[in-house]
Amino acid sequence: MRIKRIAKATLSVLLLFVMTVSAVGCGAAPQPKPKQWMSYDYFDTYVTFYDYSKDGDDAFRQRRDTVAGVIKYYHELFDIYEPHEGVAGLYEINSKAGVSAVTVDEELIDFLVYAKEMYALTDGAVNIAMGSLLSLWHEYREGGVAIPSYKELTARAEHCDIDSIVIDREASTVMITDPEASLDVGAIGKGYAVEMAAKSLLALGATSCVVDGGGNLRTIGTKPDGKGWVTAITNPRAPAGADFSHKVILSDSSMATSGDYQRYYVVDGVRYHHIIDGETLMPAREFSSVSVMCESAALADALSTALFVTSYEDGLRLVEGLDGVEALWIFSDGEMKKTAGMK
Ligand code: AMP
Ligand code: MG
């Protein structure tokens, strides 16, 4: 757990560093430092809000409180490890699997419908009904000494059917019909929450800010000089001191990265990470990271996980069929490929 937290903190600090450097470097006029809010209370990661607007402290506080409120709300809805008082979220839905439907907020219905759309869009590569399989890997990862057997994996894979999530929008209920199935929204939840925070900021008229949900970056507008924020996609296989593989400029857009270096353990010299291919039931091996840039932080998050478990050829076809989506693949051997717009 501790190792995972340190790795995630490193990723966020790296992004912050690059954004700060960009604000004063490259011959640009010096920029005012953004006002900031940072929390480690949500999504098991750092969530940071950078506000560059110059409209005063009250306006900043309103935006900050809005971001904090939205992130807390979705954190509690999506938490599968513990219940939160007065919240009917995934914890309750999972605990009532095969037993009864749960009455939930419209916001959770919207999210689950979106997650099902992502399943369809990615041909099942990103599947929030994989909780049963993911929790098995989670247990072994925490143990740190062995990997699950093929028999255990295939037994869990029997209980990952997306159609076992039954959503009734009229009645505002959700039920998992398979008692052994469960939801895990780790692949989409953070990006979705960040996007909802961004939507609320836009509704308040925000024009110059960044929400960073553990590396799920969402930018609104531009910096005060009219330029975008420069961020870097790290090459996980680069030697120390040379780890920025690619710099990207973001304005009114998002970036998410899925990598094999964020949560993993090693058995017999082989690295087993946390992004699982639903077909092989094993951690995907083709890439060390995949990054996606597009307007929505929710889409970027869902697609980066999906592309990570999809072959390069199929992933490229998927991205090229979508408007305004760019991707960068870093293969396990360090080779890098990207779409034309990933500048
Ligand atoms: P991300 O860092 O956004 O790629 O999300 C990784 C997290 O998503 C993991 O820690 C799991 O909780 C979950 N996950 C892993 N593989 C999948 C998958 N194929 N479909 C859906 N969720 C997944
Ligand atoms: Mg993701």
Residues lying with their CB under 5 A of ligand 2, a single-atom ion: 187, 301, 304-305
Q: How does pLDDT run across 177-213, given as a tens digit for each residue?
A: 999 999 999 999 999 999 999 999 999 999 999 999 9
Q: What is the pLDDT of residue 237?
A: 73
Q: How far apart, in whole angstroms, are the C-alpha atoms of residue 343 and residue 53? A: 26
The rounded Cα 238 to chain-centroid distance in angstroms is 23
d(CA 181, CA 279): 17
pLDDT for the residue numbered 235: 78
Mean pLDDT across 115-136: 98
Mutate to test the pocket of ligand 1, among 276, 296, 304 (most ligand atoms within 8 A of CB): 276
Q: What digits encode the pLDDT tens for the residues 233-263?
A: 877 777 666 656 788 999 999 999 999 887 8
Distance 74 CA to ligand 1 centre (A): 17
If one residue of 43, 117, 165, 275 were mutated to test the ligand 1 pocket, choosing by the most ligand atoms within 8 A of its CB, it would be 275
- Convert 115-169 into a string of H (helix), E (strand) and C (coil): HHHHHHHCCCCCCCCCHHHHHHHHHHHHHCCCCCCHHHHHHHHCCCCHHHEEEEC
pTM for the full predicted model? 0.92
- Encoded amino acid at 197, one letter: A
- Burial of residue 9 (CB within 10 Å: 0-12, 13-18, 19+) is middle
Measured CA to CA, the distance from residue 135 to residue 141 in angstroms comes to: 10
- Please report which confidence band the pLDDT of residue 16 belongs to, taking 50, 70 and 90 as the band edges: very low
Q: Which helix (H) or strand (E) holds 320?
A: helix 312-320
pLDDT digits (tens, 9 = 90+) for 144-154: 999 999 999 99
Return the structure tokens found at 200.
């609320």
Q: How far away, in angstroms, is 294 Cα from ligand 1 center?
A: 19
Q: What average pLDDT does this structure show over 164-184?
A: 98
- Atom number, ligand 1, closest to the C-alpha of residue 276: 16
Cα–chain-centroid distance for residue 227? 25
Per-residue model confidence (pLDDT) at position 243: 59
Q: List pocket residues of ligand 1, CB cut-off 6 Å.
A: 126-128, 130, 134, 184, 186-187, 258, 274-276, 278, 301, 304-305, 309
